[in-house]
Amino acid sequence: MSGVREAAAASRTPARTGGWRDGDPVGRRRFVELGPVRLERGGTLPAVRVAYETWGTPAPDGGNAVLVEHALTGDSHVVGAAGPGHATAGWWPSLVGPGAPLDTDELFVVCANVLGGCQGTTGPSSTAPDGAPWGSRFPEVTIADQVAVEAGLADALGIGTWRAVIGGSMGGMRALEWAVSRPERVAALFFLASGAVASADQIGTQTTQQTAVRSDPAWAGGDYAPGPGPVAGLGTARRIAHLTYRSDTELGARFGNQVQDDGRFAVASYLDHHAAKLAARFDAGSYVVLTEAMNSWDVGRGRGGLSAALSRVTARSVVAGVDSDRLYPLAQQQQVAEALGVPLRVIASPYGHDGFLLETAAVGGLVRELLAR
């Protein structure tokens, strides 16, 4: 029976890891080419392309611009249908649009794919100067490097100060880095379901996911061909991650110990589904690079520690977390809230960490509150 289950799961796994590549439909993406980018850990990327999307119209002085920061497996497609160039629909669809919390009748909303990603911005699957994919040669990047690239995008768009920078999970890290490293360029900060420094639990979980990817024979040291790739390893990494994204209470209520007609536990079928979905749209090399950046995250590094770093923030701030989040528990947001001198806003949700994406009414209300000040 176990062999049947494994064969069934394998049949649902794509033949290659996904991600946008040159020659694919561009969809709503736009691109900015930046020059060389010096990296925090040493070395330089000779050129960086940034893929981004916008909604609304910029004010002449750029003062109505809001930056939305995506999480680990997100991208620039915050809102919009799936279609050519976009494997999935927008990941925060109720947040952006006319009359939405980020009201595009008034605001100019920007979201960029992150440095090291796989949806148009330079990353491991991008073409290096020698014409081959970067692959294993792609350098280590940090959250600070990613924000430096976003600052280059802001400069190219003529945006001096963001009216707000908004992000959850890995996006919250970049939002906080913006407010600490460039306080004069951030008028308001929304820090959601994230932390100011990676914890041992997060590092341990993410290094285990990286091991799953690297243990796949198709990984080939990070230099796998554009065709078949380490989809099995990436799928295992996603299964591990997804268990941290949802709460024990929700999984128990939805699945319990139910067994399906095909012999699989219902919860295993659910995880198989999410593993296959991710492998179809995301690149394994980017997954490793981005989780390494998250593991190295420490906003106090090189700034005299956490308290000294957070004392640099001048932005009006809302700090919020999800009460059932076991990946980024409330204590991590409380630490930031106390340092910034603001109350911690708690979002009640059965969904765990994913509540920051799913509890759109609560999140949207906090966004409106921040922008109304």
Q: Is 353 one of the annotated active-site residues of the chain? A: yes
Q: Is 272 one of the annotated active-site residues of the chain? A: no
Q: Is 145 one of the annotated active-site residues of the chain? A: no
Cα 211 off chain centre by: 20
- Reduced to 3 states (helix: H, G, I; strand: E, B; else coil), residue 313 is coil
Catalytic residue, chosen from 76, 125, 126, 169, is: 169
| Sign of the alpha-carbon dihedral angle for 211, 215, 220, 225 | negative
Closest by CA position to 143, among listed 298, 37, 320, 312: 298
Dihedral angle of Cα 15, 17, 19, 23, to the nearest 10 degrees = -50
Helix ranges, the chain (H): 2-11, 143-157, 170-181, 200-215, 231-245, 248-254, 266-281, 284-295, 306-310, 330-340, 355-358, 360-372
Angle of CA points 158, 163, 166, to nearest 5°: 110
In the chain, the amino acid numbered 349 is S
Closest by CA position to 356, among listed 151, 18, 68, 19: 68
Catalytic residue, chosen from 296, 325, 349, 354, is: 325
Catalytic residue, chosen from 125, 145, 353, 354, is: 353
| Residue linked to tokens 């009460």 | 323
Cβ burial, residue 199 (10 Å; 0-12/13-18/19+): middle
Residues annotated as part of the active site: 169, 325, 353
